[in-house]
Chain A
Amino acid sequence: MNNPITMLGDGFAHVLQGGAIFHALWAVLIDIIVGALPGLTATMGVALLTTLTFTMGPQVAMLVLVCVYVGAIYGGSRSAILLNIPGTPASAASTLDGFPLAKQGLAGRAMGISTLGSWCGTLFGTLILAMFAPSFGEFALQFGSYEMFWVALFGIVIAGSLSGGDPLKGYIAGFLGLLVATIGQETNHAYPRFAFGNPDLAGGLGLLPVLVGVFGVSEVLNAMRGPAVRAVSSKIDSVIPRIRDVTQYWRTILRSGALGTFIGAMPGLGEDIAAWTSYAAAKRASKEKELYGKGSVEGLMAAETGESACVPGAIIPVLTLAVPGSAPAAVLMAAMMIHGLNPGPMLAITAPEFIYQIVAMLVIADMVKLVYGLILVKPLLWVLLIPRSRLMPIVFTLCTVGAFAITSRLFDIWVMLGAGLVGFILRELRFPMAPLVLGIVLGDLLDKNLLRGLVLTGGDISPFFTRPISMALCVLTLLAVAWAIPGFVPRVMGVFRRRPA
């Protein structure tokens, strides 16, 4: 019964019921388009499509949202190759070699490489998820309130340190997110924090309206600035990938797949970091370094494999710890909660089969993505030419529907508008969004576990530092903070370096 192969088979059989292929086809299609359009991110795609899944059963809803996530991350490479503008931040590394290939008249080949790399990456990451998530889930069962508090804090800190840009601003964004999550009634005494007598505020700020605001409304505002962009190439050569690209660069694919999955599993880092790291590692190990940045097939393959491997990687901590590995995974986790699936350590006991169902969903999404990657080249080029003045009002409309639909409160629309404005200002001030989102999503986890831990110990904080796993997580969190302090790492390395006699 608990044989992984049997459970995987059961997972596929379960997921493939009830028109799964139909749902996978439309969901991947919509989000390849969302991902391909500059200004529409994977996070926004998952947030908006969550609205459509409210009346679906949890299994179908998760399939749709996994397909959306996989499709959007892949779709971003289209505009990276054709416009030199990443459709999602995850595809930024793909512009370096994808666009030069397109300028050389090899846009079709570049898209073929991107399709193949992305397909291999997601498959690799899914394999890792299938192999390690169940056992890690069982290990996570040892986590109590003290450990979960550190997991949440570690997520904020690591996202702040490494999610790009300024770590100090990353931490601030993370704690702002945590503060936002405290608004509304708390669980112990039902006291309405920061409600100021307003019953809507006492109910708390909905996760989805806030996320739709931060990633939808602020993106619309951002997209409407500056000059519009134009596609460089309307002539596409063959997109059929060459087997030689896989055989020649298999080491790059494996390395990028492993790096992408690992970075995905780290809380809050996400696909763009995975792509950049994979690209840098491939360049360092490459025999053709001089081609990088000028249209290197290997470079494009590395970036695409890394970013797509990150998707299953980012779902691993969602399923095992209830800590998202990336911003889209954070929204996916919120959607799981909305649908009554409780991700986290208890999943290994309450629904161990769900992990294998997610594996099946990822494989289905990856296969559909491959098919679309090969047949959808010309229509996608056409979609990329839609002017933003016609696209963005539709996106804004979908944001409004998404914010309202979950609880049917007009208040949520105001929350979305406020979150959009604040998100826009924070972006302008160079605050990274990943720690903010992680803070909002993890706020409840941190809140409950800190208070529960304090109550259990009668106010003694020592278990937070002395229990073995707590101690390890505490050390990791402190190391993540120390890593971000300028000059700390060279100074420590200097201590261990042998001084000349």
Chain B
Amino acid sequence: MSGNSDREPLPPRVDLATAAVLLAIGLGVMALAWRMPSFVEQSGTGLTAPGIVPGFHATVLAVLSVLLGLRAIRRGALKAGAPQSRAWSGEDARQLGTAALLGVLYAGVLVGRVPFWMATSLFVFAFTAAFEWPAGPVGRVRRLVEAAVLALATGGLVTLVFERIFLVRLP
């Protein structure tokens, strides 16, 4: 579960910016927790106040983010020549943007508005076509036809398997 721990460490400036955002979240949640009612009349003690636990978590988060920020500063985040974070390559950004956009369009817009099999088929076709388009004009038509077949099969099979066999309600 170490996830990405094997990758190169981030520049300290990124950690400093992250710490600032986390500190803002921690302080914001502390303020919201403080404003929650204490229900002293009901409980008699106020110890079951809804804000206690999130307030505790937010305080720890704020302290940890300060530590992260201080560590980033000690590692040179404020020095003039501190290394900058490497931006994603243009190709990476394009691929990520495409995947994220299509995902949000599908799950956030299409699903629930058009029949599920149709939404799924449209999404799978668009996704596959978008990522296989840059492979060049040779064989493009075949790839698009395959994408369409895959899309229809996915839409139909997912609907069939979940709704008919496993009796799971679909959006």
Which residues does A use to contact B, with CB under 8 Å? 51-52, 54-55, 89, 92, 163-166, 168-169, 171-172, 175-176, 178-179, 182, 186, 188-189, 191, 193-194, 217, 220-221, 224-226, 268-273, 326-327, 387-390, 392-394, 396-398, 400-401, 404-405, 408, 410, 413-414, 416-417, 420-421, 427-430, 432-434, 446-447, 450-451, 454-455, 458-459
Contacts and interface: CB of A to CB of B under 8 A. Distances in A.
Nearest to A388: B131
Given A393-B124, A455-B45, A168 B168 contact: no
B58 interface: yes
B125 to A, nearest CB: 9
B161 to A, nearest CB: 8
Contact of A188 (B10, B48, B112): B48
Most buried by B among A92, A401, A420: A401
A301 to B, nearest CB: 22
Contacts of A270: 1
A142 B50 CA distance: 28
B144 interface: no
B116 to A, nearest CB: 8
B81 interface: no
Given A393-B154, A401-B168, A454-B47, A172 B99 contact: no
Nearest to A165: B5
Contact of B1 (A224, A326, A401): A326
Given A226-B92, A417-B107, A451 B99 contact: no
B9 A430 contact: yes
B150 A390 contact: yes
The 9 closest A-B pairs by CB, nearest first: A164-B2, A165-B5, A389-B131, A393-B127, A434-B1, A270-B1, A164-B5, A191-B50, A188-B48
A88 to B, nearest CB: 10
Interface in B126-171: 127-128, 131-132, 147, 150, 154, 158, 162, 166-171
Contact of A221 (B54, B99, B108, B120): B99
Interface of B: 1-7, 9-10, 14-15, 18, 22, 29, 32, 36-37, 39, 42-43, 45, 47-48, 50-54, 56-58, 60-61, 64-65, 67-68, 71, 88, 92, 95-96, 98-100, 102-104, 106-108, 111-112, 120, 123-124, 127-128, 131-132, 147, 150, 154, 158, 162, 166-171
A398 B158 contact: yes
Contacts, number: 214
Given A172-B64, A175-B57, 15 more contacts: A163-B1, A165-B3, A168-B71, A176-B61, A189-B39, A191-B50, A193-B36, A389-B131, A390-B147, A393-B123, A397-B158, A428-B4, A434-B2, A450-B53, A451-B52
B54 A394 contact: no
Most buried by B among A52, A168, A172, A405: A172
Given A217-B103, A413-B108, A429-B10, A397 B123 contact: yes
Nearest to B150: A390
A270 B3 CA distance: 11
A225 B1 contact: no
Contacts of A92: 2, 6
B120 A397 contact: yes
Contacts of B68: 168-169, 172
A428 to B, nearest CB: 8
Most buried by A among B1, B7, B132, B162: B1
Nearest to A172: B64
Contact of A427 (B3, B22, B47): B3
A210 B54 CA distance: 18
Contacts of B6: 92
Most buried by A among B54, B60, B92: B54
B171 to A, nearest CB: 5
A192 to B, nearest CB: 9
Most buried by B among A224, A413, A421: A224
Nearest to B61: A175
Contacts of A271: 1
A186 to B, nearest CB: 5
